[in-house]
Structure 1
Amino acid sequence: MKKTIYFLFTKSVGLYINVLSFLLPEKATQLAYTLFSEPRDGKLSKDNLPAILQETEKETYHHNETHFQTYTWKGNDTIILLAHGWESNASRWENILPYLRKSGSTIIAIDAPAHGLSGGTEFNIPQYAAFIDVLVQKFNPQYLIGHSLGAKTCLYYQSNYPNNSIEKTVILGSPSDFKIILNNYIEMLSLNSIILGGIEAHYLKHFQLKLENFSGKVFAANIQTKGFIAHDKDDTIVLFEEGKKIASTWKDSVFIETSGLGHSMHSDELYTKISQFLFE
């Protein structure tokens, strides 16, 4: 019953946007983009933070008329920066933290745009990468770990922001081709070609990005640092082939195939391998 209601709701929204596109195409495109880029989950409350985040040093940074939140587990001079994915927040790293903290490192987790305690209503990778760059410039982390769209943001960052501090990057469950994500959204709402073209034009105008080049595979080809790429064969959110695409162009990387973990990729065995990659 819930699936039927959701199906009818999404198709009704799509029909409204399609009709609007013939009357007010710019307004219709903006509505479609807003629905596409605004997360519906992942926000946090300062008064009710998950326990794992309550024990951290918290700091808010301001950048380009918005703000973003970080959480730090203090350690030694080795810095690890963590970037979560879509409709999540910094608490998603709770399971891997014991493995990372064994090294004595300082660990910094960031809330993505419009997630956790960070500001804004829109998530986009270029803005997320700009947030990461603020922290890289300040803390010079040696290691970067990302999950899902946070992982793709790490790829985008490494490809577009030159830096000398990051030595190794861990990519978990990352999508590669942005067009697949967008086409899935277009298909879900049955949106017409006017909207598809309008969204593509929006990315070109605001982010100087052609969607065929907005690809993890393309980004990875430009990365010189060591990479650890892991993807689960049973991932129903981001297909396994997406991880293989990224690995195919990243020269100095290892690809780990997991099974039964789904998109979350929580596993003691995987976390042990990540620790070995980073610290041994």
Structure 2
Amino acid sequence: MQRLFTYILAKLIGLYINILSYTSPQKALRLAYKYFSNPREGRLLKDSLPSVLKEAQAGIVTHNDFIFQTYTWKGNDTKVLLVHGWESNAARWKLFITYLKKAGCTIIALDAPAHGLSSGTEFNIPQYAEFIDIIVQRERPQYMVGHSLGGATALYYQSHYPNTILQKLVIMGAPCDFNSILHNYIGLLSLNSNVFLLLKKHFFDHFKIKTEEFSGSLFAAKIKIKGLIAHDRNDKTVAFKEGKKIASAWPKAEFVETKGLGHSMHDDKLYTKIYSFLFDSDSADK
């Protein structure tokens, strides 16, 4: 019943935006962009944080009037940065953190814009990458692990902020083409071509993004460091072929296919594989 209600609501919202696209295009754009970029889940309350985040050293970073939250589990000089995805937060790494602690490394996670305890109402990849760059330049992690849109942001980051700090990059369940994300959204709300063109113009005017050129495979082709890409055959959120496209463009990346994990990709076997890739030099140099 809840799924049916959500489906009907999405179509009604889309119908309203379609009508506005003829009578008030800018209002239609504002609404369409709001529903596209404003997460509805993933927020946290400071007074009721998940236990795994309570164990960390919390930090606050300000950047261009934004505040974003960081969490650090202190260890040795080897550092891993964890980058979560859409409608999530740093707590999504709870299971993986138990594996990383075995290495004795320092673990750093952050809440994306408009997620967790970070400020803002809007999520976009360029801004998320700015946040990541501040952490990378300050903490100098050797490794980064990103899930879903966090993985896509990690690809964008390493392509647009090339550096010699990061040595290995792990991407899990990440979408490749921005156009695919946009078309999925258009289909979900049954938005018309007017709205589609308005959104494309907005992305170019505000972020200099040409949607057809904003692609994980193009970003991956520029990355020189070693990578591990994991994607599940049964991922209903991000198609399996998206991961394959990224892998085919990344010269130094290994592709890992999983089955039955869905989009979350929480799995002992996979986490063991990632652990080996990050910390076992023999495995990493093959």
Aligned residues: 280
**1:181 paired residue number:** 181
Does residue 100 (structure 1) correspond to residue 100 (structure 2)? The answer is yes
**1:36 paired residue number:** 36
**1:252 paired residue number:** 252
Matched residues in 2 for 1:255 and 1:160: separation? Answer: 22
Matched residues in 2 for 1:35 and 1:97: separation? Answer: 32
**2:217 paired residue number:** 217
Matched residues in 1 for 2:117 and 2:35: separation? Answer: 20
1:222-245 CA deviation, whole Å, 9 max, x = no partner? Answer: 100100000010111111110000
Deviation, structure 1 residue 12: 1.1
Q: Which moved more, 1:10-19 or 1:138-147?
A: 10-19
**1:154 paired residue number:** 154
**2:65 paired residue number:** 65
For 1:35, the aligned partner's letter is Y
Structure 2 counterparts to residues 54-133 of structure 1, below 5 A: 54-133=54-133
Matched residues in 2 for 1:145 and 1:85: separation? Answer: 11
**1:196 paired residue number:** 196
| Identity percentage of aligned residues | 59
Matched residues in 2 for 1:94 and 1:3: separation? Answer: 28
Deviation, structure 1 residue 188: 1.3
For 1:198, the aligned partner's letter is L
Matched residues in 2 for 1:262 and 1:8: separation? Answer: 25
Q: Secondary structure at the match of 1:47?
A: helix
Question: TM-score if structure 1 supplies the norm length?
Answer: 0.98
Deviation, structure 1 residue 130: 0.3
Question: TM-score if structure 2 supplies the norm length?
Answer: 0.96
1:151-182 CA deviation, whole Å, 9 max, x = no partner? Answer: 00000000000211100000000000111111
Matched residues in 2 for 1:269 and 1:19: separation? Answer: 50
Deviation, structure 1 residue 46: 0.3
**1:228 paired residue number:** 228
For 1:237, the aligned partner's letter is T
Matched residues in 2 for 1:261 and 1:229: separation? Answer: 15
Deviation, structure 1 residue 3: 3.0
Q: 5+ residue gaps in structure 1? A: none
**1:274 paired residue number:** 274
